[in-house]
């Protein structure tokens, strides 16, 4: 998986200024229209250079500047939502004319949230213009993936062959998450015969979108001449089969042989059978005497089940036997109670816990809940963000307001929200 840099550097939280909005969704007041002409609002939006945070100069002033900027964008987006489709054509024209990459990303995000499908065809044409500034082409695949479908597969597949590695990967990720899984057949093409960048992105994406039939191809990909393809194939294999297998760079042939033998024996098993086998094997390792294998098994169980990790001291050589016994009992109990549930059930339960923690009155505790929540669902609706240093200074009533909004959002979307492919965007 290629995680965007900002996700590695910071854990984001919902901006408190957004609390003035009655919900995350765009709302239209029946019978009311903005006083300003739609073109005036679009022009104001297109004049904003949406910079985002400066990761090289990260401080409170920078965070506050970004917050004000994001709030302004959201206000204009809500104003445009009241026009309905009358705002779509002006937005498309402004987007086509845009020559600032940061502003273009912002405009595309606004159009995605307003569901401006009118932009699909003109943006596809811009995507295919190889002489166009590459920074103005890179944001387009994400937009196509959010509102597109099978009609966008051909252009995205062609873009996956682009010489710009960043754009090529974005195109593959977009194929992976097209609505209705429309891009999955093309994802196989990219893995089999794409460029090195496309093959590595496709190998990564197969696990992210839970494409279990790709397992044999991913096993074969461990012999790919590109080391990144080998590594991402290994990661997706563990995700799809639930089998813990540490990546061993430099030993691709041995790793391939091991997976090929394992698949020959277990390839006819159902996903549930593979999951049950993985749970049993990891429990056995946790109970065993090898501290390294026990820690690895506990960490893998935590990742599989979206649970908190066991403390390192629990499995350290010569460590506290009581702590280990507690952890062993913890995992046995969890497997007994939840082992027959699906990973989707485990995911939903993890979000439940994070939202409950977010509602804690202690700001440090509530931050842990929001941090965990952002890892799981990547913050719904892409609202503005703050950092921990600001969050812990926020009034308790405001933090409770955020918790209430998330809880209401999750109650509405719990049964339909899919975590597949969320890491890309």
pLDDT of residue 33: 59
Domain termination residue (choose one: 309, 341, 373): 341
pLDDT of residue 32: 58
Same domain, 304 and 276: yes
Same domain, 180 and 237: yes
DSSP bridge partners of 386: 13
- The dihedral built from the CA positions of residue 128, 202, 419 and 375, taken in this order, carries a sign that is negative
Domain termination residue (choose one: 321, 341, 361): 341
Same domain, 232 and 320: no
Same domain, 194 and 246: yes
Same domain, 172 and 202: yes
Structural domain contains residue 193 = yes
Structural domain contains residue 211 = yes
Structural domain contains residue 255 = yes
pLDDT of residue 7: 38
Find the domain containing 198 and state its range: 159-268
**Residues 158, 128: contact at Cβ < 8 Å?**
yes
**Residues 206, 240: contact at Cβ < 8 Å?**
yes
Structural domain contains residue 313 = yes
Same domain, 206 and 298: no
pLDDT of residue 422: 67
Domain termination residue (choose one: 341, 370, 394): 341
Same domain, 254 and 283: no
Per-residue pLDDT of the chain (425 residues; tens, 9 = 90+): 343 433 333 333 333 333 333 333 344 444 455 679 999 999 999 999 887 777 677 777 777 777 788 889 989 999 999 999 999 999 999 999 999 999 999 999 999 999 999 999 999 999 999 999 999 999 999 999 999 999 999 999 999 999 999 999 999 999 999 999 999 999 999 999 999 999 999 999 999 999 999 999 999 999 999 999 999 999 999 999 999 988 888 788 999 999 999 999 999 999 999 999 999 999 999 999 899 999 999 999 999 999 988 888 888 877 778 888 999 999 999 999 999 999 999 999 999 999 999 999 899 899 899 888 888 887 644 344 456 777 887 788 888 888 898 899 899 999 998 888 766 44
Could you give the 3-state DSSP secondary structure of residue 308? coil
- The verdict on pTM exceeding 0.75 is yes
Same domain, 287 and 239: no
Same domain, 251 and 163: yes
pLDDT of residue 126: 96
Total number of domains constituting the chain: 2
pLDDT of residue 376: 87
pLDDT of residue 423: 61
Same domain, 229 and 310: no
């Amino acid at each position: 998986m290629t995680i965007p840099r900002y996700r590695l550097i910071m854990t984001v939280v919902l901006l408190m200024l957004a609390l003035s909005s009655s919900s995350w969704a765009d709302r239209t007041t029946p019978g009311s229209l903005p006083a300003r002409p739609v073109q005036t609002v679009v022009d104001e939006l297109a004049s904003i250079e949406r910079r985002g945070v400066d990761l090289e100069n990260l401080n409170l002033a920078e965070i506050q500047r970004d917050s004000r900027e994001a709030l302004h964008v959201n206000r204009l987006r809500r104003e445009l939502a009241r026009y309905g489709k009358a705002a779509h054509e002006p937005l498309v024209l402004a987007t086509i004319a845009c020559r600032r990459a940061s502003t273009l990303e912002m405009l595309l995000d606004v159009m995605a949230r307003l569901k401006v499908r009118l932009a699909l065809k003109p943006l596809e044409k811009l995507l295919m213009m190889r002489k166009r500034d590459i920074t103005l082409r890179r944001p387009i695949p994400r937009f196509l993936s959010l509102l597109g479908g099978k009609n966008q597969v051909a252009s995205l597949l062609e873009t996956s062959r682009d010489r710009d590695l960043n754009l090529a990967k974005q195109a593959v990720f977009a194929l992976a998450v097209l609505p209705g899984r429309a891009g999955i057949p093309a994802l196989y093409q990219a893995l089999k015969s794409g460029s090195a960048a496309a093959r590595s992105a496709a190998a990564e994406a197969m696990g992210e979108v839970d494409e279990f039939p790709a397992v044999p191809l991913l096993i074969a990909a461990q012999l790919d001449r590109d080391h990144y393809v080998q590594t991402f194939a290994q990661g997706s294999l563990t995700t799809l089969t639930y089998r813990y297998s540490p990546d061993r760079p430099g030993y691709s042939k041995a790793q391939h042989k091991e997976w090929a033998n394992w698949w020959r024996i277990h390839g006819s098993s159902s996903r549930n059978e593979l999951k049950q086998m993985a749970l049993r094997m990891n429990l056995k390792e946790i109970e065993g005497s090898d501290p390294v294998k026990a820690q690895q098994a506990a960490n893998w169980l935590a990742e599989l089940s979206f649970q908190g990790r066991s403390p390192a001291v629990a499995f350290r050589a010569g460590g506290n036997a009581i702590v280990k016994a507690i952890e062993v009992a913890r995992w046995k109990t969890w497997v007994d109670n939840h082992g027959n549930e699906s990973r989707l059930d485990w995911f939903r339960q993890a979000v439940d816990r994070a939202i409950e923690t977010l509602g804690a009155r202690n700001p440090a505790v509530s931050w842990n809940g929001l941090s965990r929540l952002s890892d799981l669902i990547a913050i719904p609706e892409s609202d503005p963000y703050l950092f921990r240093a600001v969050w812990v200074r926020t009034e308790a009533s405001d933090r409770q307001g955020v918790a209430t909004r998330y809880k209401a959002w999750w109650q509405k979307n719990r049964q339909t929200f899919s975590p597949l492919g969320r890491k890309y965007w």
